[in-house]
Amino acid sequence: MDEQTQDPGPRGRPGPVGGVPPGETPAGEGSTGAETGPRDQQARGWAKGPIIILGIIVVLCAAFFIAYAVTVAI
């Protein structure tokens, strides 16, 4: 049982002309595409709609707690 397996590996063999050598992983896709870079005119910040909705929720919560405090104090 004194066997030694010698595997030269794929690096020792020449690859196909203009291709990828055996055992190497070829590139999956290009690193650049049509959708690279920032998009046109990206809006920053919050839109008016969500801010108005959050404001209404805050006012309703505050009104609820004030009404609760008034009814408990009576």
**pLDDT averages per 10-residue partition of the chain, 74 residues:** 55 56 66 64 78 96 95 81
| Model pTM score | 0.42
pLDDT the model gives residue 64 = 97
User: At 72, which helix (H) or strand (E)?
Assistant: helix 48-73
